Structures are given as C-alpha cells and as structure tokens.
Amino acid sequence: MYFPDYRPRRLRRTPTLRRMVRETTLSVDDLIYPLFVAPGQGLKAPIAAMPGQYHFSVDTLVQEAVRARDLGLPAVLLFGLPETKDETGSSGYDPDGIVQRAVSAIKEKVDDLVVITDVCLCEYTSHGHCGLLQPDGQVDNDATLELLARQALTHVQAGADMVAPSDMMDGRVAEIRQVLDDEGFTHIPIMSYAAKFASAFYGPFREAAQSAPAFGDRKGYQMDPANAREALREVSLDIEEGADIIMVKPALPFLDVIARVRQEFDRPLAAYNVSGEYAMIKAAAERGWIDEKAVVIESLTGIKRAGADMILTYFAPDAARWIQE
C-alpha cells in the first residue's frame, strides 16, 4: 500500500461548504399554487381541514393571484366550486362558469402568471364522480371524454395558459389535444395527472372542493397505491396521447414513482403535494410538535431531489417567502 495512513473522510460542513456541495436547490420557480374559487363577492372563507387555505370569490381570488405573482410564484392552478351541480357536470363546461370567469378576471389584472386549470367533472357533478355515470352506477369513460374536452376548451377560450386533466379517464389527453388543436390552440400545453393514485391523502380536498363521491369511491379509475410499474405505463400512454408535462400525485408517499418516472421519461415532471400532506404538517405544527418551516422545506426539497421539476403545493406562498429569506 502506497498510503498506509489513508482513510476515507467525510466532508466537514461549514455553512459555505454546505452551499457549494448542495445537490438540490429548491427555487420559487418550482412552485405552483392551487386555489379554490367559489361564487360570491368579497369571499375569503377558511377551509377547516386546510388551515391557511380559503374559498375565494373571483374578486378576492384576483388579489390572491396578485400576491402570488408578487412573491415570484410562476403559476397557479384553479379549482372551481360551482353554483349548481347536475348529473352531467354542465356547470363545468359552461363558458360563463366559475373557473372560466376566474381565469379571465386574473388574466385581465395579472401579468406574468401562468394560469393552469384543473379539468375534471367531480366538482360539478351531483354524484361527485369524475365522469358521467351509466345506469348501473359505473363511470362511462368514453362518453365523458367529449365533456372534458369541452371543459378544457372553455377554460382556454377564457384565457387559461395550460390545462390539467385530473379525471383519469382513458383517452382524455388525446381528446383534449385534438379539440384544442382543431380550435387553433395548438400552443396550449397539457399537464396530465398521469400517475394519480386512489389516495386517502385527498381527504381534506374533498371538503375544499366539495367533491366527495355520493357513493362508492374512485378506485375504478384511479391507480392502486401498490403499483409502480403500472404508473410508468400510465405515464407512457399519456405521453403518447400528447401530454406535455406529466404529474405524479400524491408526492411524499410516492417518491419512488417520481424517481422512476424521472429516469424513464424526458418530459417535464410535476408532483402534487396534496391536501392530506399539507394538513398533516399543519396539524403537527399547530401542536408545536414539529417546526413547520423546516419540515416544509425538507419535504419540498425531497420531492425535488426525487426528480420533480415542479411541485404543486398549498405551501407555495409561505415556501416562496422562506426560500427568499
């Protein structure tokens, strides 16, 4: 042995050295802020299971969008709570619907903010399922596609910069792409909820969007949390159909899926840090059991380290402030 005294050494980290060798940097540019818009005026109604999140009316939503832009956030994702619900979710594809009005109001007032809309029927159907129902209570995949495409088109006509189908019907990316292209919106990207698991972590969202299914569950069309190989197949199908950005959802319980999708596909990858992930941190922080800021930054950094290029998170405004500090 040439160097009998040699033994491997670990880095001793001073703050500056820590900055130099850091592999993952969380940036405000990575964050997308989900928002809920409801009928009314001057509304900012707290969502009980998601402390710090609100139902906004169009006017207060615009103010929140301004705040997001001023914090440097690049994008918001809109969910709608309509005035009326029916069997076919028609308030979802009404050109004068709540999300459509919200999009044009934001676009009128706020420059430099990418407005993404969630495309799904569950917020607009009386039964709370993500698609049309057959007489036997099963979701009618193919009949739903046309309505989703109509919804996406009305969002884009109102000014949406990107649409994000979250329904998990087969073929919806292709259908939406076709309709947008036919109407001259070839430049509008689709962010597809490609690997969306049937997760218990969506619990608080069901209150936020008032979209709990009236009967049954979503396991027929959302993925089994036990399956990672199937997630890769879902992603590859959505890419074939024309998805520009693909999403894994939820984020923290599915970091392995994020990492595998990152390795196998070259598309921009989004991860959705969902309502239950948010609520858990909020609840523990309120009790003083954890340090909220540190846990949020660690969680979001972990999601990015796993391979996500962008993160949809209700922590977006707080995280933006913390990152800039």
Query: Nearest distance from residue 93's CB to ligand PBG, in Å?
Result: 15
Whether 196 is catalytic is yes
Active-site residue identified among 249, 282, 293, 304: 249
For residue 162, give Cα distances in angstroms to 107, 118, 158, 198, 218. Answer: 13, 9, 11, 24, 25
235-274 footprint of ligand PBG as x/- string (CB under 6 A): ---------------------------------------x
Under the binding rule (CB under 6 A), the answer on residue 218 touching ligand PBG is yes
Beta bridge partners of 133: 139
State which residue, 151 or 166, has the beta carbon closest to ligand PBG: 166
The DSSP annotation for 206-257 comes to HHHTT---SSS-STTTSBPTT-SHHHHHHHHHHHHHT-SEEEEESSGGGHHH
- Torsion angle of alpha carbons 134, 135, 138, 141, nearest 10°? -10
Residues making up the chain, counted from first to last: 325
For residues 30 and 25, give the distance between their C-alpha atoms in angstroms, rounded to a whole number. Answer: 10
Please identify, among the stretches 64-72, 99-107, 115-123, 263-271, the one whose residues bind ligand PBG according to the rule CB under 6 A.
Answer: 115-123
Closest to ligand PBG by CB, 91 or 166: 166
Binding of ligand PBG by 122 (CB under 6 A): yes
Choosing from 120, 132, 270, 319, the residue that interacts with ligand PBG (CB under 6 A) is 120
202 binds ligand PBG (CB under 6 A): yes
In the complex, least distance from residue 198 CB atom to ligand PBG, rounded to whole angstroms: 8
Instruction: Enumerate the active-site residues.
Output: 196, 249
Q: Which residues bind ligand PBG (CB under 6 A)?
A: 118, 120, 122, 130, 166-167, 202, 205, 218, 274-275
